[in-house]
Amino acid sequence: MTNEEALQHQTQVAHGAAVAAHVAHHKQSFITKYIFSQDHKIISRQFLITGIIWAVIGGFFSVLFRMQLGFPDQTFPWLEDIFGKWAEGGRISQDLYYTLVTMHGTILVFFVLTAGLSGTFSNFLIPLQVGARDMASPFVNMLSYWFFFAASVVMFSSLFVSTGGSSVGWTFYPPLSALGDAAEGAKTGMDLWLISIFLFIVSQLLGGLNYVVTIINMRTKGMFMTRLPLTIWSFMFTAILGILTFPVLLSAVVLLMFDRHLGTSFFLSDIVIQGKILPNEGGSPILFQHLFWFLGHPEVYIVALPAMGITSEVVSTNSRKPIFGYMAMVGSFFAISTLSMIVWAHHMFVSGMNPFLGSVFTLFTLLIAVPSAIKVFNWLTTLWRGNIIFTPAMLFSIGFVSLFISGGLTGIWLGNAAIDMHIHDTYFNIAHFHLVMGVASMFGMFAGVYHWFPKMFGRFMNKTLGYIHFWITIVCAYLIFWPMHYEGIAGMPRRYYDYSNWESFKMFEGLNTFIGYVVIIVFATQFLFIFNFFYSIYKGRKMTESNKNPWKATTLEWTTPPLPGHGNWEGEIPEVHRWAYDYSKGDRDFIPQTEPIGEDEGEH
Amino acid sequence: METFFLIAIVLLIFLVIFQISKASEYVSVLKGEEKAMRQSNKINGFLMIAFLILGLIGVWYCNKLFYPGNLFSWGAASEEGLIIDKMMWTVIYITGFVFFATQILLFVFAYKYQYSDKRKALYYPHNNTLEFIWTSVPAITLTILIIIGLKHWFKFTGDAPKGSQIVEITGHQFAWEMRYPGKDGVLGRKNFKLTDAAKGNPLGIDWKDKASRDDVHVPTTMYVVVNKPVKLVINSQDVVHDVGLPAFRLKMDAVPGMPTTLFFTPIYTTEQMKEKTGNPDFEYEIVCDQLCGKGHFSMKGIVKVVTQVEYNAWFRNQKSAFARAQEAALSAMNEGEAPAKVDTQKDLALEN
């Protein structure tokens, strides 16, 4: 059976429909088409829209806790209307504050920047860019979304239990997370939180396996690994990282559940809480931190790599230039992924672990800056002597590079164990990771949405709204996070409900108020995007057959019909003859991957 | 009413932005996409360079606002901290240079190479020399930073200097407790199962260990001597806390079941720091740097750095923890709590 036949066969089995060439034309009910769909494009939209909803919730939570920090003396009666006893007198309670902080982290890291980002674009782009009719297993792919959905439902419901949602930080270090006596948010809310993360991990593993198998096995004819667009490389490394590390988090979740409910002592020892002497002995909280960060660190690359892939693609297309150093880009993806799995304990320099371990992790941590630097220089060189078209996607990609530089450089401070002793767990750290993986990856996601929206929905988003969205967002991102470095070098700790009692940090009161205003503005601005997104799905300018490659890109997805059905291509899947970056080669503006290499033309 | 107006204004702004954006889309269709693209490209190209210039001004202004008066700007108040400050300055210069160089290149390239009919993009897929340079230069720089960093890291986490004063600091939700060895210079044994605040033993000190009898327990405030190294033995009773000493530039987690250590040498007394910072309220604050529950933000300790003479005078006035525990037991007996009485008497008999 040839590759093409295998794919056809696969699609048919999945749908039980006897279709040959026109896979797209079989009738489906609303439920099988839009709800329990096995079409990777629909699943990707499901991930995206769920991700957007979570982003609004997670973002709103940050507005609330920044209001507490920015205006600690004011009361907001409407908060009591929403939160009742959790915001008595219009002031966020300490318990609620820590729940908001925890949920903001959890939602943004896991639900938005993992599921929303790689769930959306891995699903959407892998089959379209490697030339496959769907994922290797569309059914497992569907399960991946519905496990995520179940995780979402459980997480959302955890906010409504009487003791409140989890309030122990997204890193959920025991004993705090293991003992209901330690915090209100470590009671039922914590159990639900753990169950939700359990389901989420299942979803990620199902999805990740599918992505890797599809990329390795289902590339169309001529699509050698070295001809893959960088997006696909980034999704593959992301998926591999997830497959290797999420199970370790799963073990931490399960062991923690045992400690909570079965009386085991994996992470507990020598504890006296609220006057009660616990019987647990011999456990180690440090063990948990190792298990957690074994995922926790690769996780930031799971978040960052897809954004890098999308940026590479968008920067190259809109500079009308091939990406500079394709093999170096792939190599640095590989180096980043490998190193990312042996740097986890840099989160634990001051945890009390053996200092010798600290030295090993300093070494690898700083080394990871090398492949990151290669990437930045390659993006810069791609821009150099290009012919740049500023689409909204391009703006967000340039923004990504800028934020990645700003946030990445401070990693060199934090990664050095001796310096980390001062700035660990301060606002310096907040500024660092929000710039480099938080806002930057968000920018990668925006770039992806603006760039592939026409392919997703067959319509265009409004450009002007996109420009306004970009400029306000990047300005606000810097206004919020840049000054935080100064709070950090003063040693101002993160996760504080109120700083008014601290002599050392009094000078930052005004700054926190300022940040409070900026946060509100930037949050409101995101509604321009959300409105633009949903409005354009129904009312955007249509993409026509004659304009079906609007960015004049070389990759395969633009060879499909404007709004491809399930199966992606009508008729044969096109064959690939060249790499994805033949822009401005010879006297041609761009040469699609499907065009054979000319007689007197060399490969790149 | 105010809220209502605010919402109305925000909605109005949204509506205006939306209408303008929609109109601009119609205009671009009428004008032809090419022409519209060229126009919007010009605007965005200009904004790129404007953002760069305003951003650089912003960086300068932010520094002007938040550097003076910053705890960092006074310099570290410990010998170890001075080394960390020095390392930080080295890294500030290196990363600062790279920051300005790359950001300027990024936005200048974006501005300079914005679309023009006259230019054709350069087909330039790779260049091994360039790639070699920007792999090896960062690698060498980082290696140097690693070597400097590790040298100091091993020093900071190694053994405390001989003759260090020992202070035990124990965290619990949401306060710090200090314990000093008495004349013998040795901290008595502890066992968390002996913890009993009602019997005057909130730290779980094992009175059977003779070394524990002269230990002194002081809540919240730690007294140390200027220019004399201090070795902290760090404990936690419940969840993970962290002893953060921003003015000394150091911190270390407090982990239940696993004592950790940290040493530092203060070089200014609290009084000297008050003068240095010009802030009569200045204190060396101990911050908790690891989320430990809802009172995390209020878990404050104080380090009082004093001269040896002042320290001796202070220490002389402290009662030992054992003496306090006995007092607590006696007063409990006087209150006539029968079961408690039997217990304490037995305990005391055993110990004596």
Distance CA A316, CA A596 (A): 21
Partner residue facing A493 (CB), from B139, B149, B244: B244
Q: Give me the percent of chain B exceeding a pLDDT of 90.
A: 74
Q: Give me the percent of chain A exceeding a pLDDT of 70.
A: 96
| DSSP-H helix ranges across A134-187 | 138-158
Burial readout A453-489 (b: 16 or more C-beta within 10 A, e: otherwise): bbbbbbbbbbbbbbbbbbbbbbbbbbbbbbbbbbbbb
- Which of chain A's residues have a Cβ under 8 Å away from the Cβ of B249? 421-422, 491
Could you tell me the pLDDT band of residue A600, with boundaries at 50, 70 and 90? confident
Under 8 Å between Cβ of A50 and A152: yes
Residue A83, preceding peptide bond in cis (omega within 30° of 0): no
Partner residue facing A285 (CB), from B126, B135, B256: B256
Q: Do B291 and A405 touch (CB under 8 A)?
A: no
Distance CA A589, CA B119 (A): 12
CB neighbours (10 Å) of residue A509? 14
Q: Do B153 and A418 touch (CB under 8 A)?
A: yes
Whole-number pLDDT of residue A603: 76
Could you tell me the pLDDT band of residue A24, with boundaries at 50, 70 and 90? very low
Whole-number pLDDT of residue A26: 57
Average pLDDT score, chain B: 90
pLDDT in tens, A380-411: 999 999 999 999 999 999 999 999 999 999 99
pLDDT in tens, A105-115: 999 999 999 99
**Over 70: is that where the pLDDT of B348 sits?**
no
Report the predicted TM-score, pTM, of the whole model to 2 decimal places: 0.93
Tell which of B140, B147, B153, B235 to mutate to test the A interface (max A CBs under 10 Å). B153
Distance CA A48, CA A46 (A): 5
pLDDT in tens, A528-551: 999 999 999 999 999 988 889 999
Residues forming beta bridges with residue B235, ordered by sequence position = B170
B47: nearest Cα among A404, A395, A478 = A395
Q: How many CB pairs under 8 A join A and B?
A: 381
Average pLDDT score, chain A: 92
Q: At what angle do helices A463-481 and A392-414 cross, to 10 degrees?
A: 20
Q: What is the mean predicted confidence (pLDDT) over A246-254?
A: 96
Q: Do B121 and A584 touch (CB under 8 A)?
A: yes
Whole-number pLDDT of residue A263: 92
Q: Do B71 and A169 touch (CB under 8 A)?
A: no
**Over 90: is that where the pLDDT of B244 sits?**
yes
Partner residue facing B125 (CB), from A324, A351, A528: A324
**Over 50: is that where the pLDDT of B271 sits?**
yes
Q: Do A490 and B81 touch (CB under 8 A)?
A: no
Tell which of A93, A95, A179, A272 to mutate to test the B interface (max B CBs under 10 Å). A272
**Over 60: is that where the pLDDT of B24 sits?**
yes
**Over 50: is that where the pLDDT of A13 sits?**
no
What is the Rg, in whole angstroms, of the alpha carbon atoms belonging to chain B? 31
- The nearest alpha carbon in chain A to B44 belongs to A390
**Over 70: is that where the pLDDT of B339 sits?**
no
Could you tell me the pLDDT band of residue B260, with boundaries at 50, 70 and 90? very high
Helix (H) or strand (E) holding A217: helix A188-217
- The per-type count for chain B, helices as H runs and strands as E runs, is 8, 10
Q: Do B258 and A468 touch (CB under 8 A)?
A: no
Q: What angle do CA B188, B190, B193 make, to 5 degrees?
A: 155
pLDDT in tens, B123-161: 999 899 999 999 999 999 999 999 999 999 999 999 999
- The nearest alpha carbon in chain A to B67 belongs to A486
Question: What is the nearest CA distance from A310 to chain B, expressed in angstroms?
Answer: 18
Whole-number pLDDT of residue A601: 80
The DSSP letter of residue A212 is H
Compute φ and ψ for A319, nearest 5 degrees. -90, -5
Whose structure tokens read 């940040």?
A: A515
Could you tell me the pLDDT band of residue A27, with boundaries at 50, 70 and 90? low
